[in-house]
């Protein structure tokens, strides 16, 4: 399709000598041409997503490892915005929340809380501007986020650009406040449009539109990426929130931003959707593979633990899938056993090679469930994300 600069909206000169983007309502006009390569990519993404959901369906108690997917997404999505903390940092803060300055990890802790809040509220509230506001409030609660009016749409102009850039030097200026409000209400209506486009097309369009509206002073990228997962869960494509695109978007960050800008400047919705659907297919396939490996690991270790340690060992193993960094105090509290019993159990797990002590100390020891955490490593093997 030939470039159509006005298809996604227009850049309008403002009194203060800058140009702001005013998004056109969705769906795009002319409509998305679901044919050729785009149709093939949509089919591949649907198949990969269906396989992931099928894997979740046959695995008992998938919630025992969902928390790790949520944590990993929180870390990677925050890293896209410049946060330097790692998954290990997050697990350490969760283990000893009062023992150190949280720093950047506080933002990741908030991200986990925001995601869990949104997923819980989807059972009682439709996906709406109200829910998006609640998610944003959780995301920016406390610390630096308090300056960005958590849960409230912006009341002033914002912009995107290099650090220190002024409004006139901005790379992109979202709509002024009145037009921002109109665009938000139109986006909310689009989420429930009839006849509805294919769910993945709807999710891709909604994410890009949200990023163009940029309705918050901070947190737009993170909320926009959460919106993708919430739409797939709310739309029934996933029973468990196991698909997150942040690793793919981090690997292809430059193209991600270029594709969003091409929508605004050339109306290239199809180019963005091709990029988005490739990401969905790749990420869904990797998530399904990882989920199957987690289940295999769990079954192998359950057999070993049951033979060597008994019922309390199975309880500890279940805990490790949710909290793969533990100390004896945590095991004592979570299993409801005495400290000596927990200490012996942890020692036995170490002897069996299931966990590794990380501090080298005789006191305040921390143990890592290495085989499990390795499945969530951020390395790339032969060009395929380990996720």
- Stretch 72-85: mean pLDDT, rounded? 82
In a domain, 53, yes or no: yes
CA 162, distance to chain mean position in Å, is 24
| Residue 356: how many other CB atoms lie within 10 Å | 14
Mean pLDDT of the chain: 88
pLDDT given for residue 382 in this prediction = 30
In terms of residue numbers, what domain contains 162?
Answer: 9-284
Looking at the structure of the chain, the number of domains it has is 2
Reported as a single tens digit per residue, the pLDDT across 213-237 is 999 999 999 999 999 999 999 998 9
How much helix, strand and coil, in percent to the nearest 5, is found in the chain? 60, 5, 35
Give the integer Cα–Cα distance in Å for 216 and 201: 24
**302 domain-assigned:** no
In the chain, the percentage of residues whose pLDDT exceeds 70 is: 94
Asked whether residue 39 falls in the same domain as residue 89, the answer is yes
Residue 290 maps to a domain: no
CA–CA separation, 127 and 132 (whole Å): 7
Measuring CA to CA, which residue among 224, 217, 174 is closest to residue 22? 174
pLDDT greater than 70 at residue 284? yes
Residues 117 and 252 in one domain: yes
In the beta sheet, which residues pair with residue 21?
11
- Based on the domain organization, do 116 and 249 belong to the same domain? yes
CATH for 341:
1.10.10.10
Specify whether 108 is located in the same domain as 242. Answer: yes
pLDDT in tens, 13-37: 998 889 999 999 999 999 998 999 9
What's the pTM? Answer: 0.89
279/322 same-domain check: no
Give domain status of residue 301, yes or no. no
Greater confidence (381 vs 326) lies with 326
User: How many Cβ atoms from other residues are within 10 Å of residue 163's Cβ?
Assistant: 5
Q: Are residues 215 and 259 in the same domain?
A: yes
Query: Is there a domain that residue 135 lies in?
Result: yes
pLDDT for res 384? 29
Same domain, 39 and 138: yes
């Amino acid at each position: 399709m030939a470039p159509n600069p006005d298809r996604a909206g227009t850049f309008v000169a403002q009194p203060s000598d800058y140009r702001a983007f005013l998004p056109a309502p969705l769906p795009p006009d002319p409509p998305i041409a679901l044919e050729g390569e785009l149709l093939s990519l949509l089919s591949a993404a649907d198949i990969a997503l269906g396989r992931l959901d099928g894997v979740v369906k046959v695995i008992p108690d998938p919630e025992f490892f969902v928390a790790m997917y949520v944590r990993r997404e929180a870390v990677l999505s925050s890293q896209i915005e410049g946060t330097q903390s790692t998954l290990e940092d997050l697990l350490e803060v969760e283990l000893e929340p009062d023992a150190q300055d949280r720093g950047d990890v506080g933002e990741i802790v908030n991200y986990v809380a925001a995601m869990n809040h949104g997923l819980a509220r989807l059972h009682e509230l439709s996906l709406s501007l109200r829910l998006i506001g609640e998610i944003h409030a959780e995301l920016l609660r406390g610390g630096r986020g308090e300056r960005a009016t958590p849960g409230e749409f912006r009341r002033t102009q914002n912009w995107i650009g290099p650090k220190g850039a002024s409004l006139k030097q901005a790379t992109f200026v979202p709509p002024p406040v009145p037009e921002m409000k109109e665009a938000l209400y139109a986006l909310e209506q689009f989420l429930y449009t009839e006849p509805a486009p294919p769910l993945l097309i709807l999710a891709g369009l909604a994410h890009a539109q949200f990023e163009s509206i940029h309705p918050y002073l901070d947190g737009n990228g993170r909320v926009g990426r959460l919106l993708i997962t919430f739409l797939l869960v709310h739309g029934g494509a996933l029973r468990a929130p196991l698909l997150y695109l942040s690793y793919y978007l981090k690997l292809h960050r430059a193209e991600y931003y270029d594709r969003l800008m091409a929508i605004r400047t050339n109306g290239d919705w199809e180019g963005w959707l091709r990029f988005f659907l490739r990401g969905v297919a790749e990420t869904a396939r990797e998530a399904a593979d990882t989920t199957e490996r987690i289940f295999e690991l769990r079954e192998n270790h359950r057999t070993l633990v049951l033979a060597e340690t008994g019922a309390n060992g199975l309880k500890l193993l279940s805990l490790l899938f949710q909290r793969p960094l533990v100390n004896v105090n945590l095991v004592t509290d979570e299993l409801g056993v005495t400290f000596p019993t927990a200490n012996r159990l942890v020692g036995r797990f170490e002897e069996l090679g299931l966990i590794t002590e990380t501090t080298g100390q005789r006191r305040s020891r921390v143990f890592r469930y290495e085989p499990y955490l390795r499945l969530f490593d951020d390395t790339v093997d032969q060009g395929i994300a380990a996720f």
